[in-house]
Amino acid sequence: MLGTNKIKKIHFIGVGGAGMSGIAEILLNLNFQVSGSDLLESKITKRLESLGLVFFNIHEGENLSEVDLVVFSSAIKQDNPEIIEAKKNNIKIIKRAEMLAELTNLKKSILIAGSHGKTTTTCIAAHIFKENNLDPTYIIGGKVSSFESNANLGDGKHLFAEADESDGSFLLFNPDKAIITGIDNDHLETYQGNIENLKKAFVDFIKKVKSTVFILDLEKKWIKDLSFGTKKIITYGFSSDADYKIIHYSQNQKGSSFVVKDKKSDLEHLFEIGIHGQHNILNSLAAILIALDEGIKLPGIRKALSSFTQVERRFEIISENVFGKKITLVDDYGHHPSELKATIETIKEIWPDKKVVMAFQPHRYSRTKALFHDFVNILSKIDNLILMEIYPASELPIKNYSSEDLFCEVKRNNKNVVLVNGIEEAFEEFKNFSDQKYIFLTQGAGNTSTLALRFK
């Protein structure tokens, strides 16, 4: 599609989104004419404009003048005026993932899939390759503070991107290599509410990978009896059966260190990185393994890890002096019960003597409904909980599954919970805990980052 002379001007509906903006930037760097619309003007859209994007701060049919191809994000509904206009004028319309699949065909593609950790793993891998002068192309759903943006068109042969299972679009890809960071009960509405269907989709994804797949060892049990021909399946994790096993692990406020044992060679390797949490160490190991598999030597990997900085909103330490009281504030994107659990466990390990004050914003009514009891269970264990209104992400409310319903259930087991409405109310509530014995946490995928920045 991109190789033909027919496609010259491409329009993105929802261009300001993390996934969309990266693809738009790559296409601008490939010298395509790119326009895009979004209801919110942002730093991202301004950056794209500086690269040549024609930006519209409104969705309307007139934006599609002389457009050859329209790309839309999963958040865009079919009644969007630009979708309607494109159909009316027989302009080709494709999903974001279809365009990403087109781009992955241009390079040696390494895709990162899994229910959790895709962004962090992709960031670390891209950083290792970049620091070892391999100049990779990458399109990432988040950003490392050392990267100018979440996308880059490199001169090297490698391309890194995330493969999204939430809408099944990861099955559009045929990557050269892949990482699967684990599978959890999220986005099951795409899979008829059945996690077995989700696992089957991941098996189908593995079958589409051309050579090597690195997979979290915990997931090996549901693929062990399947045949993948000559494809290599390499496992990693904390278990004794893993091909690459983490045997020693420790962390403090500055970061983490861990020792990995190669089962085949029986050799042990020490690594250090400035991020936190066992889940992120697993993500780091996956990135290390793909680097080794592509010929990067251990000294180069270690040096790159030593310069890796925080991924935005992935256990990001925003401040260590909130309210001038030496209170640490952590901001985290996690919005699934498993992710909340991992964040809390990490905080308790690093700051065992601190009490947690968490502001949590549930993400989507459908997820709140599907995982309601799991959310109640984990939130009931939080020392002090500030529960915010659900971030709808374009969804309509679902009866009996509002933040108020969640609040009522949590309060049965946890009296230290309050329900607030909006960023300012949450910020004011934090003022009731201005003591060094607390550690602050803003948690969620909605606009809790705005709350975190409020403390700056």
| Residue 446, domain CATH | 3.90.190.20
Cβ neighbors of 303 (< 8 A, separation 6 or more) are 131
Inter-residue contact 254 to 317 (CB < 8 Å):
no
CATH number of the domain that 73 lies in?
Answer: 3.40.50.720
Sign of CA dihedral 261, 265, 266, 271: negative
pLDDT tens digits, 336-391 = 999 999 999 999 999 999 999 999 999 999 999 999 999 999 999 999 999 999 99
The answer to whether the CB of 30 falls within 8 A of the CB of 102 is no
Query: What pLDDT sits at residue 358?
Result: 98
SS3 129: helix
Shared-domain flag, residues 145 and 251: yes
Q: Check whether residue 258 and residue 327 sit in a common domain.
A: no
Q: What is the pLDDT of residue 278?
A: 93
Structure tokens that stand for 441 in this block: 């946490």
Question: Which amino acid is located at 68 in the chain?
Answer: D
pLDDT, position 241: 87
For residues 201 and 335, state if they share a domain: no
| Helix, strand and coil percent figures for the chain, each rounded to 5 | 35, 25, 40
The three-state (H, E, C) secondary structure of 342-358, written as one string: HHHHHHHHHCCCCEEEE
Task: Please give the tally of structural domains in the chain.
Answer: 3
Cα separation, 100 vs 1, in Å, equals 12
Last residue of a domain, one of 263, 283, 306: 306
* Rounded-to-integer distance, Cα 249 and Cα 83, Å: 50
Facing residues of 385 across strands?
358, 417
73, 77, 114, 72: which is closest to 91 by C-alpha? Answer: 72
Give the residue from 94, 126, 152 where a domain finishes.
Answer: 94
What's at 22, amino acid-wise? G
Residue 145: the pLDDT is: 66
Pairing relation of β-strands 327-332 and 316-322? antiparallel
- The reply to whether 43 falls in a domain is yes
CA dist 78 → 63, 75, 92 (Å): 16, 10, 14
Tally Cβ neighbours within 10 Å of residue 313.
Answer: 21
Low-confidence spans in the chain with pLDDT less than 70: 1-5, 142-146, 220, 222-230
Return d(Cα 358, Cα 384) in angstroms, integer. Answer: 6
Phi, psi at 350, each rounded to 5°: -80, -40
Asked whether residue 247 falls in the same domain as residue 347, the answer is: no
Confirm if 233 and 242 have CB atoms less than 8 A apart. no
Joined tokens for residue 203: 């098996």
- How far is the C-alpha of 110 from the C-alpha of 237, rounded, in Å? 20
Quote the pLDDT of residue 378: 96
Whether residue 1 lies inside any domain: the answer is: no
Residue 87 domain-assigned?
Answer: yes
Is 101 part of a structural domain of the chain? no
Range of the domain at 449: 316-454
The catalytic residues are 118-119, 162
Largest CA distance in the chain: 64
Decide if 393 contacts 446 (C-beta within 8 A): yes
| Residue 282 sits in the same domain as residue 325 | no
Q: What is the pLDDT of residue 166?
A: 85
The closest of 201, 162, 207, 204 to 181, measured between CA atoms, is: 162
| Domain end call among 73, 94, 115 | 94
- Residue 57 forms part of a structural domain: yes
What are the tens digits of pLDDT across the range 63-79? 999 999 999 987 788 99
In a domain, 127, yes or no: yes
Query: Does the residue 190 lie in any domain?
Result: yes
Within this chain, do residues 84 and 222 fall inside the same structural domain, yes or no?
A: no
4 part of a folded domain = no
Same domain, 335 and 401: yes
Q: Do residues 84 and 65 make contact, with C-beta atoms less than 8 angstroms apart?
A: no
The CATH number that applies at residue 165 is 3.40.1190.10
Same domain flag for 89 and 120: no
Q: What is the pLDDT of residue 3?
A: 57
Are residue 365 and residue 337 in the same domain, yes or no? yes
Give yes or no: residues 74 and 222 share one domain. Answer: no
Residues 212 and 325 in one domain: no
Same domain as 211, residue 112: yes
